[in-house]
């Protein structure tokens, strides 16, 4: 019972968009850190036996209010107009300012500002670019330096020159080291992102090679076999039938012999395009091998399948293909078409289509021989 409630609350707080949730989780963590720092500073002021005055309350209101404003800017989507919608650099600059002004009030416990500052900078380590990291570390060093100098004047008995010099030197060593580490991480991140992109491109290429025929761009035999298997499973579950046709270009050897292999390739490409255009978007025409093609007509029964393939046959006969030697070629196609019989193996359906194709060739080519089932 509790889980859906927590999930709903989570959705209200973080939204449902994946990227937005990532950003807001980060900001929520920063808000939690700030919520922890507020009582800590109040405690530090208490230790110094100082009554909390307006500087502490102003700091508290601005620090908490600023975090809420940053959360609202991201949650509302307003921050999407910027290059970094997480507002990482802004959040870090704000937190540094809050830490430095807190340092000025923390008195004896001001050393606590340093681990907090380290934590703040660690937030940026995984997101900031090298240049922003250096700029923010320089800002932190300058601001803390200014606060330290001011405090040696305002409260010299607590903020002694010697102690502040020591603190400043510590920061002067720590901050550039953090910036250098962030820059290194940023470079690693960019290299990883580039490698991932390259890998995705290679995978897409591999998948195209594995599933597409190079010459025509149509699905290859392996791919259409997988599609037929899928269609078979769908047909078993839902009870609707499908048709398969085998197509073979007529006298194609002559095209190669008389006009060359390149002209033959051009004819195959033109036929592939015409075939796709003649069929419905849900039908699949694939290269079965050589000058043979297979058409899969999912969720289609015989009279309708015949209409689609007759259109394809006519489109093919109307094709005119210009060759490099200036000739204009035309081509016809013979088709064996059949419907899958319930409970029969796919290979049997394809075999029947092949016999019908043979029959179409024997009867004079440029025709369809079809059997219902
Ligand atoms: N240009 C080209 N030709 C191919 C390709 N694959 C197969 N072929 C050719 O297709 C021709 C097939 O010829 P055959 O099987 O004898 O049949 P056909 O000349 O089409 O005659 P019928 O099928 O009886 O009408 C052969 O010349 C093969 O070299 C290819 O990718 N490109």
Tokens representing residue 361 in the block: 């060739």
* Contact yes or no for 368/360 (Cβ under 8 A): yes
Q: Name the residue at shortest CA distance from atom 7 of ligand 1.
A: 290
The answer for residues whose C-beta is within 8 angstroms of residue 155's C-beta and 6 or more apart is 107
Q: Name the residue at shortest CA distance from atom 14 of ligand 1.
A: 253
Task: Give the position, in ligand 1's atom list, of the atom nearest the Cα of 267.
Answer: 1
Q: How far apart are the first and last CA of the chain?
A: 55
pLDDT over threshold 80, residue 290: yes
pLDDT score, position 95 = 95
pLDDT over threshold 60, residue 373: no
% of the chain exceeding 70 in pLDDT: 98
The rounded distance, in Å, linking the Cα atoms of 143 and 223 is 64
pLDDT score, position 4 = 80
State the angle between helix axes of 88-103 and 54-75 in degrees (0 to 180), rounded to the nearest 10: 170
Please state the φ and ψ torsions of residue 370, each to the nearest 5 degrees. -125, 150
Tokens representing residue 85 in the block: 């919608």
Please state, rounded to an integer, the average pLDDT across all residues of the chain: 91
Q: What residues line ligand 1, using a CB cutoff of 6 Å? A: 215, 248-253, 256, 261, 264-265, 268, 290-291, 361, 365
- Please tell me whether residue 301 adopts helix, strand or coil conformation: coil
**What average pLDDT does the segment 166-194 reach?**
91
Q: Name the residue at shortest CA distance from atom 26 of ligand 1.
A: 253
pLDDT score, position 354 = 97
Report which of 329, 340, 229, 227 is spatially closest to residue 285, judged by C-alpha positions: 227
* Contact yes or no for 92/49 (Cβ under 8 A): no
User: Could you tell me if residue 299 is left (phi over 0), alpha (psi between -120 and 50 degrees) or otherwise beta?
Assistant: left
The DSSP letter of residue 340 is P
Q: What domains sit in the chain, N to C, each tagged with a CATH number?
A: 2-204 (no CATH), 221-371 (3.30.70.270)
pLDDT per residue over 105-142, tens digit each? 999 999 999 999 988 988 888 788 888 989 999 999 99
**What average pLDDT does the segment 349-366 reach?**
96
State the angle between helix axes of 130-154 and 161-211 in degrees (0 to 180), rounded to the nearest 10: 160
The pTM (predicted TM-score) of the whole model is: 0.59
Per the listing, tokens 């080519």 go with 365
pLDDT score, position 277 = 93
Give the residue with greater pLDDT, 170 vs 239: 170
pLDDT score, position 101 = 96
pLDDT score, position 2 = 55
**What average pLDDT does the segment 212-240 reach?**
92
Compute and round to an integer the Cα radius of gyration of the chain: 36
- Please tell me whether residue 18 adopts helix, strand or coil conformation: helix
Catalogue the active-site residues: 291
* Contact yes or no for 124/93 (Cβ under 8 A): no
Q: Name the residue at shortest CA distance from atom 16 of ligand 1.
A: 253
pLDDT score, position 371 = 87
pLDDT per residue over 43-67, tens digit each? 998 887 776 688 899 999 999 999 9
Report which of 285, 286, 284, 292 is spatially closest to residue 354, judged by C-alpha positions: 292
Tokens representing residue 272 in the block: 């592939």
Q: Which helix (H) or strand (E) holds 9?
A: helix 2-14
The rounded distance, in Å, linking the Cα atoms of 132 and 124 is 9
pLDDT bracket for residue 319 (50, 70, 90): very high
pLDDT over threshold 60, residue 188: yes
pLDDT score, position 372 = 63
pLDDT score, position 302 = 86
The CA 269 to ligand 1 mean position distance, Å, reads: 14
Please report, for residues 67, 100, 101, 179, 346, the alpha-carbon distance to residue 27 in angstroms, rounded to integers and kept in the order given: 8, 20, 21, 21, 57
**What average pLDDT does the segment 298-313 reach?**
92
**What average pLDDT does the segment 330-342 reach?**
94
Task: Give the position, in ligand 1's atom list, of the atom nearest the Cα of 262.
Answer: 1
């Amino acid at each position: 019972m509790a889980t859906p409630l927590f999930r709903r609350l989570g959705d209200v707080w973080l939204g449902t968009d994946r990227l937005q949730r990532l950003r807001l989780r980060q900001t929520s963590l920063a808000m939690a850190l700030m919520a922890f720092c507020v009582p800590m500073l109040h405690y530090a002021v208490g230790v110094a036996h100082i009554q909390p005055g307006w500087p502490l309350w102003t700091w508290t209101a601005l620090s908490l209010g600023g975090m809420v404003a940053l959360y609202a800017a991201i949650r509302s989507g307003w921050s999407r107009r910027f290059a970094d919608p997480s507002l990482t650099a802004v959040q870090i600059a704000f937190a540094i300012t809050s830490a430095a002004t807190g340092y000025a009030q923390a008195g004896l416990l001001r050393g606590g500002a340093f681990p907090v500052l380290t934590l703040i900078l660690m937030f940026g380590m995984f997101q900031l670019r090298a240049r922003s990291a250096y700029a923010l570390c320089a800002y932190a060093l300058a601001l803390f330096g200014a606060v330290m100098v001011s405090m040696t004047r305002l409260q010299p008995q607590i903020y002694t020159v010697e102690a502040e010099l020591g603190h400043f030197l510590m920061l002067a060593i720590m901050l550039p080291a953090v910036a250098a580490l962030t820059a290194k991480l940023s470079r690693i991140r960019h290299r990883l992102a580039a490698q991932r992109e390259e890998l995705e491109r290679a995978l897409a290429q591999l998948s195209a090679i594995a599933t597409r025929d190079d010459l025509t761009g149509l699905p290859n035999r392996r791919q259409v076999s997988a599609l037929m298997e899928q269609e078979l499973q769908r047909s078993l579950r839902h009870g609707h039938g499908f048709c398969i046709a085998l197509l073979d270009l007529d006298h194609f050897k002559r095209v190669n012999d008389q006009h060359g292999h390149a002209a033959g390739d051009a004819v195959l490409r033109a036929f592939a395009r015409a075939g796709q255009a003649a069929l419905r978007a849900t039908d699949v025409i694939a290269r079965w091998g050589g000058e043979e093609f297979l058409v899969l007509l999912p969720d289609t029964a015989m009279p309708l399948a015949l209409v689609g393939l007759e259109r394809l046959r006519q489109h093919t006969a109307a094709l005119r293909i210009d060759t490099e030697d200036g000739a204009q070629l035309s081509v016809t196609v013979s088709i064996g078409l059949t419907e899958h019989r319930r409970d029969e193996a796919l290979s049997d359906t394809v075999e029947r289509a092949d016999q019908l194709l043979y029959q179409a060739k024997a009867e004079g080519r440029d025709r369809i021989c079809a059997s219902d089932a």
